[in-house]
Amino acid sequence: MDAVIQFTSQSQGRDRIFRATQYACALSIYVLRNNPDRKDLAKKLKSLEVHMSAGRKLFRLGNTVNSIDAAKRTMQLSDRVLCLCLTVANINRALYFICDNVLWAKSVGLIHSIDKERWSLNASRYYFFSIVMNLTRDVYVLSQLMVQRARDKHFRQKMNQHLSESPEIAEPVIPQLDAFLFLLLEILKSHPAVALDTLKNICDIFIPLDRLGIYQSNAGVVGFCGLVSSLIGIVTLAQPKLKVKP
């Protein structure tokens, strides 16, 4: 109970609960779209989804400053690749939150003379670039871990034993692919924080891709990906050891 109270007392915790609820509603609405007996339920879920989205915008009012502060910290990283990826990601997140704050001000009537569609598209663009840079960081970290593990003698023996037990294949490239996949799976299993962050970013990227028209899916895919990403966010916030660092 104490852990639940501590989690919900954080603004990030409440935001992630609201986000999970929002995308769960979106997914449920998509599933119920062809069921005429569930129209009333779908309307209630749609109303709940809108309220969750509005509530999240309120929780995110201070996130621009947090993202700028995070960018300042990541600029000090000694690893140049991580420094570039994380700094650019945080700057884009700050720009995204600025657009998000303007859209919130528009929705409550504080601002009137803005192009809501244009600001919404800009927010999606900044969100997309932020996720791309975070995914680039994940790929870089995975590649570094794979190189380190491949140099380990005990692991090479384990991998060679695995390959020797595999069926003989005529094409020489297939065993290499098998070795790569075996190494990748071993890294993902031994580094759950990196695995979860990679899965989260892969899920997240479908949201702006659909919004920007780069890769249009449907409301069901967006709802499912958003829900999975939100649940991972809840887990990593509740269990800090599962959050990738830096």
What's the rounded Cα separation, in Å, for the pair 112 and 105? 9
Find all residues with CB under 8 Å of 31, minimum gap 6, and list them.
220
When pLDDT is averaged across residues 156-171 and rounded to a whole number, the result is: 63
* Confidence at 166, pLDDT banded by 50, 70, 90: low
pLDDT for residue 225 is more than 90? yes
Percentage of the residues of the chain whose pLDDT score is greater than 70: 91
On whether the CB atoms of residues 52 and 24 are closer than 8 A, the answer is no
**C-alpha triplet 224, 229, 36: angle, nearest 5°:** 20
Greatest alpha-carbon span in the chain: 69
User: pLDDT (tens digit, 9 = 90+) per residue, 21-53?
Assistant: 999 999 999 999 989 889 999 999 999 999 999
Read off the amino acid at residue 125: R
Give 142-174 as a DSSP string. Answer: HHHHHHHHHT-HHHHHHHHHHHHHSPP-SSTHH
User: pLDDT (tens digit, 9 = 90+) per residue, 102-140?
Assistant: 999 998 888 888 899 999 999 999 999 999 999 999 999
Q: Which residue has the higher pLDDT, 89 or 216?
A: 89
The CA-atom distances, in angstroms, between 184 and each of 5, 13, 52, 86, 198 are: 37, 31, 37, 23, 13
Q: What are the structural domain ranges in the chain? A: 2-242
Q: Residue 49 half-sphere exposure, CB side, CA atoms within 13 Å?
A: 18
* Confidence at 2, pLDDT banded by 50, 70, 90: low
What tokens does 14 get? 């409440």
